[in-house]
Each structure stands twice: as structure tokens, then as C-alpha cells.
Amino acid sequence: MVAGNSDVRPVAVRHDASPGAGRRRGAGRVAGLGLGAVALLTTLTGCDVGAAFGGFGWPQGGITPESQRMYDLWIASCIAALAVGVFVWGLIFWCVVRYRKRGNTLPVQTRYNLPMEFLYTIAPILIVSVLFYYTAIVQTDVNRESENPDVTVEVVAFKWNWQFNYRDGQGVEANTVASTLGTSEVIPVLVLPTQRSIRFEETSRDVIHSFWVPEMLFKRDVFPGNVRNTFEVSELRTEGAYVGRCAELCGSYHAFMNFELRVVSPERYDQFLAAKQDGSSTQEALQAIGEEPYAVTTRPFETRRTTSNFNPDNAPAGSGS
């Protein structure tokens, strides 16, 4: 239809001389001021905006500075996306109203408007570049490891539990000074202090697991073999008990592979470690510093497998139908 219409003029037509141009320029200025004000307001009250909208789906209540930085990045990205979204929705509705069909005359065609095409090619690239820039900064920050962390703990994962080794240094060469081993009866409790930087060094005895404490808003895979995944938190801010989980499907009891992170004051952490080194069990050492001896956020899993319900006929392996 368009091709056959001799009235089509593939050039942009300037409206500056039309009677309504002044009014439109004024409206544009008001809209621009409004957008600027909204942007300024959201920048100034960024944190409150995040809280008001439930973190835009991001979990709140992270207990490390790293989790706070990731949260801030998410909130800022959401606000930026919403600002772009509101602007685009505004343009769409404005066009729908302003250029609604009024007759059979073909509207002004604005193809090959180079400045416009340049703008909507450059603008997304700029937006993505800014997002990439801040993402790279936060990611580098979260992955940063210090020369000499205050505490180093070796996380050993196996089907289907955890062992936590408190180390006297970094790397495989360091020695374990105290250890906590999880069993089917007792959930392993990882005791760590506030106000100190903590390095986690991960290794697996069998398959790939993943060390995850939801309140740290961070998880990292635990690999078997000689790959030693590490990460660090610059501090744990809030004392308390936090459930930890395996976040990598690792077999039948993956869902029950829980542990507990118990964050205590640095003084009580030192007392706990001293008690462990003196030969106390983790439960005795926890009791010695006035903590609950057993996990309070999760409990040992019940396998519910006996010969009567799992393999009632006592059929030997390989004889299944």
C-alpha cells in the first residue's frame, strides 16, 4: 500500500514553523525536568526505594559488605531499567495519542532520519556500557582476596555432608588446627567471628557440590581433584545462626546436605577455637562459649531407608526386573 502511494515522502518534515511548536517545546521541557527530578530523587533515596519495593526481588538482609554491594548494584540497575521503561512507555502512549489515525492521509514518514538512527543505536550501547562498568567493578570487588585474611577455613564437601577445617594459613600447605565433621546424626556447625576477614577454601572428596549460605547472598562450587576454589568475605556483620546448604545437585541426599553457620564475637570465636584445640568436641566448645551446642536452623535428615521399606525382598544387586 505504501509503495503505491505517490504522496509518500521519505523525508522528515520539520514542524518548527507550525503554530503548536512552541507549546510542544514547553511540554518537552517540562517532561525533561520531570524525568531529571525523578532520577535525582531515586539516586538520593536509592536504599529506601529498594526497601519500599521489596528489593525488586533481590533477597534482603545480607550479612556481608559484599552482599550489600551486590544488592546496591541490583537496585541501581532496576531503577535505571525502570527509568528507561517509563520513558519508552511514555513515548509509546504519547505517539498513540498524538499520531492516532485521523483520516486516510499517510502520516509523515521519518525513515532514513540519520540523527534518530544514530541516537537509538548509541543510546543502548551507552546503557549497556554503564551497566557493564558497574557490574565489572562489583564483581571484581566481590571476588577480591586479600594477602593475609584474618581467618581461613577449609570447606570439605562429600556425599552428603561437610567438614570444616580451621587452618593456620592459606593453601594446601597450611595445617588444620581444629576440625568439625558433620555426620548423619549431627549437623556440622561452622563457627566464625564478626569483624574479621574470612577466606573459604573449598575442596570435594567425590563429586561437585556447592557451598551456599543464603544470607551471604553468595555460593561457589566445590570441586573434586586438585581444584581449590576460594572466596573471601571482608567481614560477617551480624551475629547469629544461619542455615547453609549444598547448591549443586550431587546425588540422592543433596537436598539434605545442610550445615549451620554460627557467627559469634571475635572474643568468643577465639575461646571456641582454643577449646577445640584443647580437645573439646564442637558441641562442648559451643557450650563453653554460651552457644547452643547443636544446629538451630536445620536438623539431621532422616533417610527413612531400612530393609523393610527400601529393599523388602533383600534382592541382590543386579537382579531387578
Note the Cα 74 to chain centre separation in Å.
9
Q: 264 and 194 in contact (C-beta within 8 Å)?
A: yes
Q: Which residues contact 89 (CB under 8 A, 6 or more apart)?
A: none
Query: Is residue 209 at the binding interface for Cu ion, with CB under 5 A as the rule?
Result: yes
Q: Which is closer to Cu ion, CB of 250 or CB of 295?
A: 250
As a whole number of angstroms, the distance between CA 279 and CA 46 comes to 50
- Closest distance to Cu ion from the beta carbon of 245 (Å): 9
Closest-CA residue to 82 (of 22, 44, 35, 114): 35
- Number of residues interacting with Cu ion: please give it, by CB under 5 A: 5
* Cis ω for the linkage preceding 160 (within 30 of 0): yes
Site for Cu ion in 281-300 (CB under 5 A): none
Q: 300: exposed, middle or buried (C-beta count within 10 Å: 0-12, 13-18, 19+)?
A: middle
Phi/psi region, residue 294 (left: phi>0; alpha: psi -120 to 50; beta: rest), is beta
- Closest distance to Cu ion from the beta carbon of 221 (Å): 10
As a whole number of angstroms, the distance between CA 285 and CA 211 comes to 24
Pairing outcome for strands 198-204 and 151-158: parallel
Site for Cu ion in 213-252 (CB under 5 A): 246, 250
As a whole number of angstroms, the distance between CA 99 and CA 183 comes to 71
Stretch of 38-46, 64-72, 204-212, 235-243 lying at the interface with Cu ion (CB under 5 A)? 204-212
Stretch of 106-114, 197-205, 206-214, 278-286 lying at the interface with Cu ion (CB under 5 A)? 206-214
- Closest distance to Cu ion from the beta carbon of 289 (Å): 29
Q: Which is closer to Cu ion, CB of 42 or CB of 161?
A: 161
- Closest distance to Cu ion from the beta carbon of 201 (Å): 17
- Closest distance to Cu ion from the beta carbon of 210 (Å): 7
Q: Which is closer to Cu ion, CB of 208 or CB of 288?
A: 208
Site for Cu ion in 78-117 (CB under 5 A): none
Site for Cu ion in 125-184 (CB under 5 A): none
Q: Which is closer to Cu ion, CB of 192 or CB of 257?
A: 257
**Phi, psi for residue 295 in degrees, rounded to 5:** -60, 140
Q: Which is closer to Cu ion, CB of 69 or CB of 254?
A: 254
Site for Cu ion in 248-277 (CB under 5 A): 250, 254, 257
- Closest distance to Cu ion from the beta carbon of 249 (Å): 8
Stretch of 56-64, 72-80, 186-194, 209-217 lying at the interface with Cu ion (CB under 5 A)? 209-217
Q: 208 and 199 in contact (C-beta within 8 Å)?
A: no
- Closest distance to Cu ion from the beta carbon of 223 (Å): 12
The residues that touch Cu ion, with contacts defined as CB under 5 A, are 209, 246, 250, 254, 257
